[in-house]
Structure 1
Amino acid sequence: MNVLCNAFDLCFLDGLYTCRFRSGHTNLSNTTTQCEHFEIRANKDCPNGFFSRSRGICKNMTVLSNIALGKPATQSTTYYNASYAVDGNRGTDSFVDKCTVTRKGDSNPWWRVDLQAVYNITSVRIISRGGKYWSNRLRGVTVTVGLTESDVNIPCGFFTGPGTASQLVVIDCPTLPQGRFVKISKTTETLILCEVDVFGVPV
């Protein structure tokens, strides 16, 4: 199966400056994939060590699974349990579907999942809470990655927001940060996550 793909990738000097896809990226249908063979090298003017958006054809597609599903999760404060964001329930009614919620007054809330193994993280997807009032709480969100739970500071991506009700927010990690822990944080009160998917390639 051939799939047209988009990716951020690192350019390197190989006779000419070229960009090639690394394994693990998002294709045009928003499915996170791992490509084993590549066609079409992109952007011969890309400086060595810089990142460039590339496009090409991937063969022998392998779809990556959600590596956060059912894994241990914790958060800064608890109104609704942190594990609700990785329970596989993709509903957005916080009372019925059990979204995770930090406590009111927590001005720097965060949520973190332990993937229980080290991965190169390709993307993180967040499903926001339904309802007009609550949906705008998903704003100013930062996703970071780390090897230990006390040091989860490698940048993945950022969502400015504000979000919309029941929105699927896709945050790509162009540098493929390596880690065991993924953290979602914000600098405004109350973090609400109905479901979090994490995609990555095993190290």
Structure 2
Amino acid sequence: MSPKEVTGLCAIVLHICCADAESNLVEGKPSDASYLESKPPSVLNDGKPTATTWGSGSCLALSDSDPWWQVDLQGKVIVTKIKVTSRSDCCPGRLRDFSIDVYEMNPSLHPNTVGDHCHYYAGIIDVGGATVTVPCDNAVTGRFLRVSGRISKSHNLPFQLCEVQVFGVAISRLTTCASFVQYKGKRFNKTPSKTISVNNNSRATCASECEHQFTCAGFNIRYKPEVTCELIVAAAISAQVSDAAWDCYLYEPCPITCV
């Protein structure tokens, strides 16, 4: 298991003991919906959970046969719970029977992608203007979160809600104290997962590329005849060999503790 995979596993524990570190991750993020009529999907993540009347302009009704709303978290996130808010001036029961799923890829562009299931809420939220907390059955990881609802077939009523808040921990936040340890005149004797050519600020570019690939555990860098960076999945001290043309850097995650 690579150091980053260990960090990822620690993140699952983090949400249990450090719930206070969670924050709403979706305010102002790009959103989409299955049915667009008079209001944009962004009204559901506008940061106004108390604006719960239709006249406030902060509620959305989805009347198509397979209604959904989704948000782009703009990065990999461990989602632990969401909060949904019903309409207060009419018909709160239109918020009912919905599923929460998290995807690595945009399911609108990749309809065959399989998501991680957070929770299925069975029943009706029948209190007007209520904000209900829905915890995930397990901590799920991904970039796109989708709330899929149902219309009331007996009364032909839409799926309707006034705010969605998503809570969890961005993966990038878990590694802010991590570092890359340099080994001069050495390289990892492993087949790289990716090779890139870089120009200015070369070491920082390599480190950033490795940081953004969850399985990357280190990188090799050569400065002549051109700057070349090799990302290594199975990087380890035991995999190093001497090579004066190269330096290598090993990813060292920081301990994750609750404060």
Q: Tell me the C-alpha RMSD between the 2 structures.
A: 1.8
- Percent identical residues: 31
Figure out how many residues of one structure are paired with residues of the other and give that number.
Answer: 147
Larger radius of gyration: 2
CA distance in 1, matches of 2:20, 2:88: 32
Determine if the alignment matches structure 1 residue 83 to structure 2 residue 42: yes
Q: Decide which of 140, 143, 149 is 1:177's aligned counterpart.
A: 140
Contact 1:120 1:200 in 2 (8 A): yes
Indicate the residue corresponding to 1:149 in structure 2.
Answer: 106
C-alpha displacement of 1:195: 0.9
> Quick check: 1:92 aligned with 2:52?
yes
CA distance in 2, matches of 1:131, 1:162: 16
1:34-113 equivalent positions in 2, closer than 5 A = 35=18, 62-79=20-37, 80-90=39-49, 91-102=51-62, 104=63, 106-113=64-71
Runs of 4+ more than 3 Å apart? none
* Equivalent position amino acid for 2:106 in 1: E
Partner of 1:125: 83
Residue by residue, what CA displacement relative to the aligned partner does 1:88-129 show, whole Å, maximum 9, x if unpaired? 112101222421222x3x011000000001011000110111
Ranges in structure 2 where 5+ consecutive residues have no aligned partner: 1-11, 108-112, 152-156, 172-259
Contact 2:83 2:133 in 1 (8 A): yes
Which runs of 5 or more structure 1 residues have no equivalent in the other structure? 1-20, 26-33, 36-60
Scaled by the length of structure 1, the TM-score of the pair is 0.67
SS of 2:138's partner is coil
What is the letter of the counterpart of residue 135 of structure 1? Answer: P
CA–CA separation in structure 2 for the residues paired with 1:152 and 1:122 = 18
Q: Which has the higher helix share?
A: 2
The equivalent residue for 1:195 is 163
* Deviation of 1:158 (Å): 1.7
Q: Given residue 171 of structure 1, which amino acid in structure 2 is its aligned partner? A: V
Distance 1:62 1:173, change over 3 A: same
Matched, 1:160 2:122: yes
Secondary structure, in 3 states, of the residue corresponding to 1:83?
helix
Residue from 4, 14, 22 that aligns with 1:23: 14
| TM-score (normalizing by structure 2) | 0.53
1:22 maps to a residue whose letter is V
Q: Distance in 2 between matches of 1:152 and 1:199?
A: 21
